[in-house]
Structure 1
């Protein structure tokens, strides 16, 4: 796997690791609790920190909507349900800021989308990746139910090699994520652990 994670050709993508999704005031408290209690958010933060230290480009994909909803999808139950949630991912609010302990460095790219399910389809991410010379995309974040598999499939369809640190993605219920990784993502991506990715990037493993 080491050859895939050459800093010159690898990019780390965080998916919807934003306050209104994984933070304490999440619109999706079950998902937020799973992300935090499982250590997934901490693992994403470790990967981002290692990327900053080793020169791997970081891209943060954030989902948001305008207060008037203009341009947003309404063609699925998920979108309609999101409109009724007490916390909404509105442009310019704290809900769409990347959540601690993930640190956003000056050189990071933050790509915001107002529609759809995928961090790649219909956004600037693909063009940015190509301009960066990316060949391998490391996908982290949430959720394993929707946005993460969308990101993986779209990246593979666009010609990128994908690495998924399985302990740096989460969905609900908790037992869904490992099943989805085993039966779906493992068919199209290289599945690893956070420690394995850190090892390839030259970072020491976390002490137990």
Structure 2
């Protein structure tokens, strides 16, 4: 079912568009991802909609297969390219968890702005994007994932998220489809 509306109370949530994660953009190339995210940012700004940026500053404490504890990322890994950087009073929230809601005041900011719908863009699709979309849905927000403005290290994982996970959590649309409904 095609998307038919983006209500005025919609925010764009941009996840991990930073130097330490952009090299992982393989399902959609980093250049294409930056282009699509920049297009969404321009459209949301022009329509005077809420925009929130999230970056990862490391990983949470806890043992995984890959590490015995959390990792902290260097300042160089958290640099945001100019085309995806916050503008004006757009907040930049820093987190260590996968979800944009973990350890941040994202929910409170969205609710204070009257937001009921979130459009999620960025990377990685099967990590931060999916975790944020799941939490947004669980918190009662309507979720829209910008299909061509997300990317992942694993193209098969991206395809699974776009076709099996996100349709259950909300709606999936292209940046152009989203922008046509807000401008």
Q: TM-score range by the shorter chain?
A: 0.7 to 0.9
Greater than 6 Å deviation, 4+ residue runs: none
How far is 1:33 from its partner? Answer: 5.0
Calculate the aligned-residue CA RMSD, in Å.
Answer: 2.2
Equivalent of residue 109 in structure 1, options 81, 85, 91: 91
Q: Are the structure 2 counterparts of residues 79 and 190 from structure 1 closer, same or farther at C-alpha, using a change threshold of 3 Å? A: farther
Q: Is the 8 A contact 2:145 2:171 kept in 1?
A: yes
How far is 1:35 from its partner? Answer: 4.4
Partner of 1:46: 39
Q: Are the structure 2 counterparts of residues 10 and 89 from structure 1 closer, same or farther at C-alpha, using a change threshold of 3 Å? A: same
1:193 aligns with 2:181: no
Q: Is the 8 A contact 1:48 1:103 kept in 2?
A: no
Partner of 1:100: 82
User: Which structure's relative contact order is higher, taking Cα pairs within 8 Å and 6+ residues apart?
Assistant: 2
| Alignment deviations for residues 185-208 of structure 1 (CA, whole Å, 9 cap, x no partner) | 111111101110111122xxxxxx
Partner of 1:77: 65
How far is 1:127 from its partner? Answer: 0.7
Distance 1:118 1:77 in 2: 20
Q: What residue ranges of structure 2 are gaps of 5+ in the alignment?
A: none
Q: Are the structure 2 counterparts of residues 103 and 123 from structure 1 closer, same or farther at C-alpha, using a change threshold of 3 Å? A: closer
Q: What are the residue-to-residue correspondences of 1:96-175 with 2, within 5 Å?
A: 96-113=78-95, 115-175=96-156
Q: Tell me, what secondary structure is at the counterpart of 2:20?
A: helix
Partner of 2:7: 5
Q: Tell me, what secondary structure is at the counterpart of 1:186?
A: helix
Partner of 2:161: 180
| Alignment deviations for residues 130-180 of structure 1 (CA, whole Å, 9 cap, x no partner) | 111100000001111211110011000101000111111111222321222
Q: Tell me, what secondary structure is at the counterpart of 1:175?
A: helix
How far is 1:45 from its partner? Answer: 1.0
Q: Tell me, what secondary structure is at the counterpart of 1:152?
A: helix
Say which one has the larger Rg.
1
Distance 1:112 1:190 in 2: 26
TM-score between the two structures when normalised by the length of structure 1: 0.78
Q: What residue ranges of structure 1 are gaps of 5+ in the alignment?
A: 23-28, 203-208
TM-score between the two structures when normalised by the length of structure 2: 0.88
Distance 2:56 2:10 in 1: 23
